[in-house]
Structure 1
Amino acid sequence: MLKVIKSGVFTSIQDKGRFQYRSYGVPVSGAMDQYAYEQANRIIGNELNAAALEVIFGGVEFLVLEDIDIAITGADLNPQVDGQTVDMWKPMTLLKNQKLTFKGPKAGVIAYVALPGGIDSKTYLGSQSVYEKAGFGKRLASSDTIIAKLYRPSVENDILSMDIPTYINEVQVNVIPSPHEQLFTSQSIQRFYEEPFTVQRGDRMGTLLKGSEPLSLNKPVDLVSEAVTFGTVQVPPSGQPMVLLADAQTTGGYPTLGTIHSDDLWRAAQIPPKGSIKFNRLSQLG
């Protein structure tokens, strides 16, 4: 059991997400860095879809109410136990009355904490993932208590150092192009794939980017809303692209330039403000 002393910037319970309700306008939600989330569960011996804590940017502090084994993966948010830096990507034991703190980002912006058996929390439409806009739970607040489903893990697994990703501030991601490409000027398409874009701000719904100059259309268009998903790159009237993330809406009416390949979604989610992203165009079958 863990008690929240400081709730941090945005800390929530997430699992793989809810996939069967997009036709009703319900976002998938779930962990933004699915790889790190699954590895945290694997290390502690959980099912890969067990709910875990997602810590964004840090600033959170937990008091350990009972001895417990955990695994921390994802971004290096400078995790410390009683003021001493601890290793990530491996099982570790927390003792009663110790304090687990995430001081803030050193590399990447999202970390995961897996507890034995997952987390005991309410399920909404088949998922424990918090999505506040629909009333599906809330981000953690001071004095909240996190309860593991098991007292101890049934098994613990090591992870090879070669399987631990590197989190950097300048990333390149592959993009499957959108049919809307033809709506944009050739100069805008060229810039989109040749120039890096800077991360301005964002949340679990999306990340706003900024390029050297706005992207422009050949002529004004009035589009019918169509499906969008985690990784869709929209271009609103400002001309500055936006990458949709885990809590993104299910449909949108802005022109799109493509969708980030699923293998690269974690890279896009982990870029810090002022970091940069460069897009690589794949063929339609890429």
Structure 2
Amino acid sequence: MQQAMRNEGLRLQNYNSRRVFSKSKSAPRYIDRLRRSASLKEAELQPLTYQGELQIYKFANLAGAYAVYDKEQALQYIGLSRKVDASITNHMQELPELTHAVKVFPVENPTKEALVDAWKQWVEQAVQELGSIPPGNAPGETKWQARKASPMKQEIRLTAGKGITGITIEQLVDQVVKTNKVVAFVKGTRAQPQCGFSFKMLQILNENKADYEVVNVLDEVHNPNLRDIIKTYSQWPTIPQLYVEGEFVGGADIVEQMNGSGELQKLLTKKE
């Protein structure tokens, strides 16, 4: 699929654009509105965070073409995916400085041919509007399409999901904090944080190349009532929360400030 994208990028002038989706009467209003906006220029530009909350959920279960914009609303890349939300999340993690908003062109029947056709349609429109291929789609460009080979760590689960006896969740939290050098309690998973503040904290840890563990406070099956328990444990009212060497460091704002001052890097690299 990626090879098809690269090959077609060199033959845009020969493409005869056509519509590749049909309107679904049962689609939610938001998705239905997206489907009516086949034009790249007319499609709605969606910020990826709003008041600290991630907006990725809007693209759940969508396949199609998508356009990525930086904070100046300059088009950076047009991609295609059978899981648009996962692809956008990947770009946010690997290229955060270039991934601030998106436009999406859903494809209802996402065959390879339909996805490539939708992608070609938007790339051709971008060339007509801007006079050149988006920088991320330029021949030889790889950073937008390259995937990191190293597998992600799994989140720590406090229980096996079958209930516990003889020990409390508070005690399990204490064990996790004191037996792991760096632990982030966040909303969501390492790969798909569910709020902008959790995403920001994980992004900062990744930028510092920290070796860290993640606990998902939203996983009620394996971490029951953790969302409230961790606030009591730390005496801190918000999530995410970062712990280093068994000590509470702070929430998203404090971690961001410490990162800007260089204090966080010193803490993360401090020898035991």
- TM-score bucket (shorter structure): under 0.3
| Superposition TM-score, scaled by structure 1 size | 0.24
| Superposition TM-score, scaled by structure 2 size | 0.25
In proportion to residue count, which structure has more helix?
Answer: 2
In proportion to residue count, which structure has more strand?
Answer: 1
